[in-house]
Chains A and B, each alone.
Chain A
Amino acid sequence: ILNVEQSPQSLHVQEGDSTNFTCSFPSSNFYALHWYRWETAKSPEALFVMTLNGDEKKKGRISATLNTKEGYSYLYIKGSQPEDSATYLCAFESSGTSYGKLTFGQGTILTVHP
Chain B
Amino acid sequence: NAGVTQTPKFQVLKTGQSMTLQCAQDMNHNSMYWYRQDPGMGLRLIYYSASEGTTDKGEVPNGYNVSRLNKREFSLRLESAAPSQTSVYFCASRTDRDYGYTFGSGTRLTVV
How far in angstroms is the closest Cβ of chain A from B27?
A: 13
Does A40 interact with chain B (Cβ within 8 Å)? Answer: no
**Is A88 interfacial (CB-CB < 8 Å)?**
no
Contacts of A4 in B (CB 8 A): 42
How does the 8 Å CB contact mask read for B17-42 relative to A, with 1 for contact and 0 for none? 00000000000000101010000111
Contact A46 B50 (CB under 8 A): no
How many chain B residues touch the partner (CB < 8 A)? Answer: 27
Let me know if B41 and A106 touch, CB within 8 A: yes
Residues of A within 8 A of B50 (CB): 98-100
Is A101 touching B103 in the complex (CB atoms < 8 A)? Answer: no
Chain B 58-73: CB-based contact to A (< 8 A → 1; otherwise 0): 1100000000000000
- Measured between alpha carbons, how far is A106 from B41 in the docked complex, in Å? 6
Residues facing B in A39-94 (CB within 8 A) are 42-49, 89, 91, 93
Q: Which residues of A contact B103 (CB under 8 A)?
A: 43-45
The 10 lowest CB-CB distance pairs between A and B, nearest first, are A46-B100, A104-B42, A43-B103, A99-B50, A104-B43, A106-B42, A100-B31, A44-B103, A49-B100, A43-B105
Taking Cβ atoms with an 8 Å cutoff, the residues of A that contact B are 1, 4, 31-32, 34, 36, 42-49, 89, 91, 93, 98-107
